[in-house]
Structure formats: structure tokens, C-alpha cells
Amino acid sequence: MATEKRFPGVPERSDGASDDRTASARTASTHTDAETGVTDDGCSPETCTCGGGTAGSQPSSTQRAGQRAVTDGSGVANVDETGSLGDLEFTTPAEGISQDIEGKDPSVRVGVPEGVELETPEYSIRSEMNDVRELDEKTWFMELDEAVIDEGRCIQCGTCVAACPSDSIGVGDDDLPELVKMCTGCSLCWDFCPRGGLRYERQWVITGGEDNVKGAGDPITEFSAKVEEEWRENAQDGGVVTSVLIHLLEAGEIDGALIATESEEESWKAEAFLATTPEELIANTGTIYNQTMALGHLDLSKWEEKLPDKPWEDLSLALVGTPCEIEGIRALQDFEWDYQKQNAGVRAIDYTIALMCTKNFNYQSLMGEMIQEQRGIDPEDIGKMDVLHGKLMVWDLEGEMILEEDIGNFHDAALKGCDECADFTGYCADLTVGSVGSSDEYSSVIVRTEQGLKAWNLTKHDLDFHDLEDRGAIGGLQSWDKKKAFESLERPFDPDAPRFIDYTDHAEWYGTVLNPHDEGY
């Protein structure tokens, strides 16, 4: 016959023995009067001081205070027969020393390897640390959030994600940076943000020299070019970017290229993608007009299955991005640190291709509101989009133009931070490619570095190319872009100033709250 557990809620011993052997022994050797509850030894519910009692009875508070179940190490303590917790007595905390809870010397370290001698700091170090004042120049993610992200000035380049040494910043569902674990206040996310602490025009000089701050810069050479292969039909303009990447891949110069691909869930929404074959590159020709947080996807473990079996430090990648993304990667590569997950990916970028850019768009605002809701065009019915001659042009799946409208009509869908950018031609890139300055079906190509020249020489034999047709058109649009940026920037534009901008200075120029964590962040 099954016996009732003496201590409800307390597991039985695995060997089947009683949890309270003393109580069990007493029960076997005494007799209890059914009416009075008095045992042979004179114990009753009113006079019991042994911690026993009949089922349903409760010992007095005095009894509970002194009660402690007898145990051989497998039972319980501080509970009565019904499993109720008795009164507890707590040890008074020690003052001025580490708390001794096990009768051992609290200054002795445990688990120290044999032969290793370590000094244990005295307790006083805690109070000393409490008096340490936070450094004034320490900048947190919340400052970046306050001054850039919450203000709508984020350009979704992902530089802050790549810069964070503690991997505390991720990409949220809204495609904006967000804190995913505790911020350490290292200041790097602020320092490298092209709309925060990075004075991007200074990065032009550091990367490309003094001539990079005038006109369209001082490139090595310039061309108008197009691909002659059949796959160019779906490419943007001349298909030069895809051709360059294919030639770099086939020549063994790169192991892959970080580009944009169309989301499988949302039509005409760009996502970061690492292409490692010519077929993947050709399948992703064309341009999609929203950012991908590209530099936030340089954690090579994300792409490990696609990468060749070699040490990460031996990998070589190309990056195709907007000018602000190229500014960000160049700045990151100028400094050495080995902590964050993105570090190997940052170091692996050996070739950079900038796409000429006046502004980029918020996906939902452009595709969801302005094109679908206001103009009645379903993104799934769009075969191609382009911005040419100041117009936004949209073609359907059969190649028929279904929208041609002044790009200014879509300004409200553009990222606010793009207005502050004066880098239309990607001054920090190895190659710059775009449609301005060349006739239809041709791409304008600006070769800025020796690395860019190597990529061009690998590719040019399979291109139809000639000297750049209209350099003035590029210079003119670059000048217009600078003018708009100067009107939007609330800080001085100074290529000769220090590369990094203090948060306090930025806050003064932009009217941003200082120490937002003190404002109930």
C-alpha cells in the first residue's frame, strides 16, 4: 500500500528511504491515543517540543524558531512535516570585509592553478571604485540614438554595428541600429558614424589626398563603358559593376563580394548578400533604392558556409556600397582592434566600389506609400527602377515604362541624413560607377586608386568603353550635392579639422540633449 509523503513538495530519496529517519523511527516505537493525541512518551500537540505533531497541526512560533529537521544530508531543513517553511535567522552582514558565509577565509582565492600566486584586493577597493567619476568624454550608444537615430538622421550604413567591440549593437526590425546588450560606453559607435562623430570630409583627405575635396576629385582615369554579354539586359546602365566583380572573382583576387539582393519576403527591398559565384552576381544585377546596413553584416560566421576553407585573415572581399558606406569602412580600417565579431570582415575588404548617390530612400516610405498607395503600382509588378536625368523611372515586367516623374516629388521618402552628404561620387572608393556623364546603356567609371586600376585592367578587355563622355555633368552634380549639404549641415564643413567630432560639440551645433541617460533614457 502506498504511504503518504511526509513532506509535500519535497522529492523522495532515490533509494526509497524516508526523508526523516528520526521521525519515522519514533512513529514505529510509540502509540498515540486516538482521542487525545497523547503518545506513550507524554507528547501531545499542545506540549510537543520535538518538532513533531499530528497531521494538520501547526507548532507554535517558539517551537518553529527552534525547529530544524534532523537529516543525514539527504533530507530537508527549516520545514515542518507538511513542508511549510519555518522562521529563518539571517546572519548579520559583515562590515568592511568580504562576507564570510562558509567559515572559510574570504581572502583566499579558489581554483587558482598550481604554481600561480595571486594577490586578492582588499575590500576597500569597492568603496574606492564607487568614488570614481565617469570620464566626461565617454560616449554611449544612447548618445548616438539621441542625436542621430531618433532624429531621423541615420543613413543605415551599419558602421556603428561593425565598430562596436562588445557586439552590443544589432539591426532592428525597422532596419535601424539598436542596442541588443549592455553598452560599455567605448564611444566607437559615435566616433565612426558618418552623421555623428566621423567628420566624413576629413576622411576624404586621409584616404585620397587633398584633391579629393574639389570637384569630382582627382581620379587616375575615367571611362564610359558597357558590358556586351547578354546578361546585361537586366543590369543597371552598362552592367560594369557586375562585370568587374566577376573578373575579380575569376582571377582569384576576391573570394566574394558584399552586394545587395532583393528580399524574398518584400518586393524591391534590398538586403545585404555575399555573392561568391558569377551566377550569384549576375542574378543580382540592377539597383534597389534603399540601404541594407551593409557594414552591419561583416560577421563572417554569417557567411561561413559560402566562404572557402581558409583562415579568415587570408580572405579577400569586395564591397559595393554608397559613398557613406565606403567612408565608414575606410575609417574602420585605419584602426586596429581585435574584439568584435565584425573585425575579420572589416579587414577582408580589399576592393571598394562606390555607386554615385545623391540620396537613398526609406523602403516603406518609397515603395509602400508613394509608389503603391499613392500611385497604385504594386511593387511585385515592377521589373526595373532607375534614377536618370532627375527623374525616377519605373518599368513593368514586360519592359514598358509605367512611371516617369521628377525625383523631387519623392523627397519625403528619402533618408533625412542623406541631405547632409556632400559625397556624390564616393571619394574614398577604389572605383566609382554611375550613370551620370554617359549616354544611355553606358556606365560612367571613375578609377581613383591603384587597387581600382588593377580591377579595371582585369575587366576592360570584355567591355565596350571609351573616354568619359561628360565629365562636366559629374562635376556639376557633385557641386549641386555639396551646396545642398552645406544648407543642411548644422556643423562646420572643414576637411582640415580633426577626423572625430566630440559629442559635446555636436550637441552644441545640433541642439542635442547632453547626457540623455540622465533624462530618463
Q: Does 239 fall in a domain?
A: yes
- Spatial distance between the Cα atoms of 219 and 221, rounded to a whole number of angstroms: 5
Please check the confidence at residue 134 and state whether its pLDDT lies above 60: no
Q: How many domains does the chain divide into?
A: 2
- Asked if residue 341 is part of any domain, the answer here is yes
β-strand 317-321 against 463-467: which pairing, if any?
unpaired
For 35-189, list the strands marked E by DSSP.
Answer: 169-171, 177-179
pLDDT the model gives residue 196: 97
pLDDT digits (tens, 9 = 90+) for 494-521: 999 999 999 999 999 999 988 776 654 4
Q: What DSSP assignment string belongs to 1-36?
A: -PPPPSSTTSPPPTT---S-HHHHHHHHH--B-TTT
Tens digits of per-residue pLDDT, 398-431? Answer: 989 999 999 889 989 999 999 999 999 999 999 9
pLDDT in tens, 376-391: 999 999 988 888 778 8
Of 56, 85, 114, the residue at which a domain comes to its end is 85
Residue 245 inside a domain? The answer is yes
Between CA 171 and CA 186 the distance in angstroms is 19
DSSP string, 151-192: TT------HHHHH-TT--EEE-TTSSEEE-S------HHHHT
Cα separation, 386 vs 434, whole angstroms: 11
Residue 56 lies in a domain: yes
**What domain range includes position 44?**
1-85
Among 38-42, 254-258, 494-498, the minimum mean pLDDT is found in 38-42
User: Helices then strands (H, E): number in the chain?
Assistant: 15, 13
CA–CA dist 506, 197 (Å, integer): 8
- How deeply is 507 buried, as exposed, middle or buried, from its count of CB atoms within 10 A (0-12, 13-18, 19+)? middle
503 occurs within a structural domain: no
What is the pTM assigned to this prediction? 0.73
- Mean confidence (pLDDT) of the chain: 83
Alpha-carbon span 117 to 86, nearest angstrom: 44
Of 33, 53, 85, the domain-final residue: 85
Whether 207 is in a domain gets the answer: no
* Each residue's pLDDT tens digit, 329-378: 999 999 987 777 899 999 999 999 999 998 899 999 999 999 999 999 99
End-to-end Cα distance, the chain: 63
Q: What is the pLDDT, as a whole number, of residue 74? A: 46
Q: Is position 188 within any domain?
A: no
- Choose the final residue of a domain: 66, 85, 104: 85
